[in-house]
Amino acid sequence: MMTLTTLTLTTTPYVGITGFTAADEIAAVVATLPEHPPRLLMCGVLLSNALLAGQPSGAPTRCPPPDAIAGIFSNDPRCLNLVHYRPRAGANLADALTQATASGGPNCHGVQINATRGAPWPEPASLDEYRRRAHPRRIVLQAGREAMASVSNNPDELAQRCANYAGIATDILIDASEGLGRPLNPTTTARYLTAIANAAPTLALATAGGLQANNLPTLLSPILPEWGHVSIDAEGQLRDDNDRLNVAAAADYLATAMGMLG
């Protein structure tokens, strides 16, 4: 069992919750953590390009004002705080990610890069420039639906693309749901995880897709124990009928996941 002294921001697996919009939401979930959890709690806050441009967000209940993000993250050592950001097409990637990280304030530990529509594979050199400039503790690269489609859903080919980011990104997230609450396919997920682990063993791995407390045994048990060290994240199934974070559902998911994966 890991203790707080061995929860390392750069390497420890996490149980993620994405879509926090207020500090009190994080505080309520953190309050349910044991003093010495086996994993980090990844607190994901979404950064909206529309809001950055002074326009309305397409997901107003999921995306807080950019200037509010720094005040949302906790300084609790059990938390891994990541800004989740989808860079605009044609933007300078290093500049955009540096700005995204800065929006998270002093308690931000890095970014999750959600794939730019039409360009699911960011330029590794630009991503490395961001890494050298901003010194993030964690860079999670989402391999979503477009990334999978770009290689005809071939796990080995996707793994080769992911290998280009070894030594730059810290984690690859297999995520065909992308916040929509669509349940992951355990068999397909295991194939992707296996291929990436073989092609780029230094990359940490994560998966997501419709996770919530009630379906964790069904969706994750088939890939355990081989992939018991993989990080997980949830978003879509933790929302209420008004598309706001259901803190009780988030806490139930967290407790179930920590019990299964600890």
User: Please, which residues have CB within 8 angstroms of residue 104's CB and are 6 or more apart in sequence?
Assistant: 45, 69, 70, 73, 81, 82, 83
- Answer positive or negative: Cα dihedral of 131, 133, 135, 138: negative
Length of the chain: 262
Each residue's pLDDT tens digit, 66-117: 999 999 999 999 999 999 999 998 899 999 999 999 999 999 999 999 988 8
- 237's tokens: 């199934």
Confidence of residue 6 (pLDDT cuts 50, 70, 90): low
Whether residue 4 is contained in a domain is answered as no
pLDDT at 215 over 80: yes
Whether residue 233 is contained in a domain is answered as yes
Whether residue 200 is contained in a domain is answered as yes
CA 139, CA 111: separation in Å to the nearest integer? 5
Each residue's pLDDT tens digit, 102-157: 999 999 999 999 988 888 999 999 999 999 999 999 999 999 999 999 999 999 99
Overall number of domains in the chain = 1
User: In b/e form, how buried is each residue of 74-109, taking b as 16+ CB within 10 angstroms?
Assistant: bebebbbbbbbbbbeeeeebbebbbbbbebbeebbb
Whether residue 228 is contained in a domain is answered as yes
29's enclosing H/E stretch is helix 23-30
Q: Rounded to 5 degrees, what are φ and ψ at 222?
A: -65, -20
In the 8-state DSSP scheme, what is residue 54?
Answer: T
Question: What is the reported pLDDT for 2?
Answer: 39
CA–CA distance from 162 to each of 77, 144, 145, 198 (Å)?
A: 29, 12, 14, 11
- 242's tokens: 């008004």
* 49 within 8 A of 86, measured Cβ to Cβ: yes
pLDDT at 198 over 80: yes
CA 103, CA 68: separation in Å to the nearest integer? 8
Whether residue 5 is contained in a domain is answered as no
CA 28, CA 141: separation in Å to the nearest integer? 28
Whether residue 31 is contained in a domain is answered as yes
Question: What is the reported pLDDT for 4?
Answer: 42
Which domain range does residue 111 map to?
14-261
The structure's pTM equals 0.95
Whether residue 1 is contained in a domain is answered as no
Q: Residue written as tokens 């590794």?
A: 124
User: Please, which residues have CB within 8 angstroms of residue 67's CB and are 6 or more apart in sequence?
Assistant: 103
Confidence of residue 5 (pLDDT cuts 50, 70, 90): very low
User: In b/e form, how buried is each residue of 28-49, taking b as 16+ CB within 10 angstroms?
Assistant: ebbeebeeebbbbbbbbbbbbb
Residue percentage of the chain with pLDDT more than 90: 85
* Count of Cβ atoms closer than 10 Å to residue 241 Cβ: 6
Confidence of residue 3 (pLDDT cuts 50, 70, 90): very low
Whether residue 44 is contained in a domain is answered as yes
Which residue type, as a one-letter code, is found at position 63? C
Question: What is the reported pLDDT for 211?
Answer: 96
CATH number, domain with residue 204: 3.20.20.70
- Give me the DSSP letters along 93-116: HHHHHHHHHHHTGGG--EEEEPPB
Q: What is the mean pLDDT of the chain?
A: 94
pLDDT at 180 over 90: no
